[in-house]
Amino acid sequence: MKKDPISPPRHIAIIMDGNGRWAKQQGWPRIKGHERGAESVRAVVRGCREAGVEYLTLYAFSVENWIRPRDEIGGLMKLLRLFLENNEHELHENQIRLRVIGRLGDLPMLIQRRLKKVMAATASYTKGHLILALSYGGRAELVDAMRQIGHKIKDGSLDPDAIDDQTIVQHLYAPDVPDPDLMIRTSGEMRLSNFLLWQLSYAELYVTDVFWPDFREQHLYEAIEAYKARHRRFGDVE
């Protein structure tokens, strides 16, 4: 599919859904769906680079996912470690900065160290930003922001009457990252699942029935083309 390089979304956020159902259809264990889903991550990172998308945020592991079976969580953490080990060179080659949003301290120490190492090594890159939402929840992010704001009010460094939208933005996990222009959800589910609740206020939503393990560059380009065909009013009239 030919890609139109004009006016792509600056920031795309993706809910990568359907790994388990994809694996079930194949008669395979759920972890096989996650393994195939890692290939989709690589494809989408490449696709965003080709399409001129500056920021890509992937909902990789939610705060609710900790209730899943221990062996599945262990498998997911192993896949994350392998993804970092096998793909760090591409981040360097393409000068893509890796970032993480979420409660990083919830993750196994080995994963924390690996993430911090790669984030530090790519911190100066500006040609693209890959943001992984790990142990992330939109409500948890807002709770953490409110706690920070509350502490500042308590110690007298913040006047409650001075609080506005920007005050909250400044206390989110990645306050310098622009809000997503386009949110893609795979597998056909019609919900946000506690993802970027503040940041998605004005995002265009695109839902596809394609399961995440089958999602490739052409599906990304289709979502981008659909985005370009929409008229974003931000509350204004036609």
Query: Which of the residues 4, 17, 86, 176 is marked catalytic?
Result: 17
Euclidean distance between CA atoms 172 and 175, whole angstroms: 5
17 is catalytic: yes
Query: Which of the residues 4, 65, 87, 179 is marked catalytic?
Result: 65
65 is catalytic: yes
**Amino acid code (one letter) for 77:** M
Instruction: Check if the beta carbon of residue 65 is closer than 8 Å to that of residue 110.
Output: no
Name the residues annotated as catalytic: 17, 65
